Amino acid sequence: MQIEGVLLDIDGTLMTGNDPIPGADTAIRFLQEKNIPYRYISNGTRKSRKNVLKKLERIGVKVSVHEIYTPAIAAIQYLTDHSIKACNFLITTDVMEDFQEAGIIHDPKAATVVVGDAGDEFTYASMNAAFRSLMQGGSLIALEKDRYWKDVDGLSLSAGPFVTALEYSSGSTPILLGKPSREFFLNAIKDWNIIKKKILMIGDDIMTDVRGAQDAGLLGAITFTGKFRSEDIDTCPVNPDFVINSIEILPVLLERSENVRNISSEIRVIKRNNI
């Protein structure tokens, strides 16, 4: 089993807040030096792609905006394909820049509601306006449905609880465009001529990163540097293909993935029937 392409989660995998996780720079340079295709595939919906790039530059490696794939970029493609030019957005002003650059405007009375991790922009007024749009027959688009994420000051609510509140109150079924959507993973790798079973997704969320990747036909690895707890691995209903202590182990994993018997003791291999 040789790994020929890598998808990298950002928060909890490469960084905690704005601080790089030790070894992240070495891991990415290894991918660059070995010419292994990789892409940053984040479920973060607070920052525009331009500012995600600035954040990644803190790691100390060269980053291209085309290496970054976010739910906002997926949503722009979806809205464009469906000729939707105005939405009732529940997102940060920073992420709004991505949509404005694509010619999609905010209208609090628009039928289509787009929800991301709006942080302090979530208010009763904004949630109620979204609820009213949906009660008039509007569509609910979820950029992501993560329950929580690991910020610098601890675990914090993500978009999922707010999407669920609108789903429950309006009876709407959300259209999910971020992880763990199968299409999100496949669109992130659509320009790669690589067998899916040779592409590895690394993240700190066992459901959105690992199970989402596996449902899309990819391999999934969980890391313990983010929100996932190492003590939960044996009771978790999801079986990751690899369990690693940190992203710094990635070069070892890639060099030895063809021969699992020589894998480092810091990497646990979970054998599944389809491997």
pLDDT score of 44? 86
- Asked if residues 15 and 58 have their Cβ atoms less than 8 Å apart, the reply is yes
- The domains of the chain are located at 5-43+179-269, 76-176
Q: What is the pLDDT of residues 95-133, one digit of tens each?
A: 999 999 999 999 999 999 999 999 999 999 999 999 999
- The whole-number pLDDT of residue 266 equals 58
Instruction: Look up residue 244 and give its two tokens.
Output: 């690693």
140 CB neighbour count, 10 Å cutoff: 22
What's the one-letter identity of residue 103?
G
**Angle formed by the axes of helices 49-56 and 93-101, to 10°?**
120
| Domain 5-43+179-269 identical in fold to domain 76-176 | yes
pTM: 0.84
Positions in the chain short of pLDDT 50: 260-263, 270-275
Top-level class of domain 5-43+179-269: alpha beta
pLDDT of residue 69: 96
Per DSSP, the three-state class of 115 is: strand
pLDDT computed for residue 271 by the predictor? 42
Query: What pLDDT is stored for residue 118 in this prediction?
Result: 93
> Long-range contact list for 152-160, CB < 8 A, 24+ apart?
152/16, 152/17, 152/18, 152/19, 155/227, 158/43, 158/117, 159/45, 159/115, 159/116, 159/117, 159/118
- Determine the pLDDT at residue 260: 46
C-alpha 91: how far from chain center: 16
Task: Name the nearest CA neighbour of 170 among 200, 190, 202, 140.
Answer: 140
Q: How far from the centroid of its chain's Cα atoms is residue 100's Cα?
A: 22
Instruction: State phi, psi for 84 to the nearest 5 degrees.
Output: -100, 120
**Token pair in block for residue 268:** 């646990």
Say whether domain 76-176 belongs to CATH 3.40.50.720.
Answer: no
